[in-house]
Amino acid sequence: DAKTTQPPSMDCAEGRAANLPCNHSTISGNEYVYWYRQIHSQGPQYIIHGLKNNETNEMASLIITEDRKSSTLILPHATLRDTAVYYCIVRDDGSGNTGKLIFGQGTTLQVKP
């Protein structure tokens, strides 16, 4: 599975959009981009995933560049409860699926009042 690079930390004002970048320049055609988050000492929680197209759900939006080498997770109206570590993960869910989900260091998002 391709490696990802994320900034170690970011701040965001409450009520504003939080844009979390992720670089995955070696991503291959069968690899999906996943985002999970971990709120203080809890188990990680799935947020959203995508392959090529932009995706939106009730939690967030995922924007993937046309060349798929980077993506951005958008929390449209960040609240204090969105303060967490956000992990961008690239994973092959096709024939190359090993069953592993590998976490990197993630981005610590601090939402401030």
Question: Which residues lie near another protein (CB under 8 A)?
Answer: 32, 34, 36, 38, 41-46, 48-49, 85, 87, 89, 91, 93-94, 97, 99-106
Neighbouring C-alpha atoms within 13 Å toward the C-beta of 1: 20
Nearest to 53 by CA among 42, 43, 63, 45: 63
- Min dist. Cβ of residue 63 to another protein (A): 17
Structure tokens at 59: 């939690």
**Nearest in space to 23 (alpha carbons), one of 53, 2, 43:** 2
Cβ closest to another protein, residue 98 vs residue 113: 98
Distance CA 80, CA 113 (A): 7
Q: Least CB distance from residue 35 to another protein, whole Å?
A: 9
For another protein, the closer CB: 21 or 44: 44
In the complex, minimum distance from the CB of residue 49 to another protein, in angstroms, rounded to a whole number: 5
Nearer to another protein, 36 or 82 (CB): 36
Task: Name which of 43 and 113 has its Cβ closer to another protein.
Answer: 43
Cβ partners under 8 Å of residue 81, min gap 6? 39, 111
The least CB distance from residue 15 to another protein, in Å, is 28
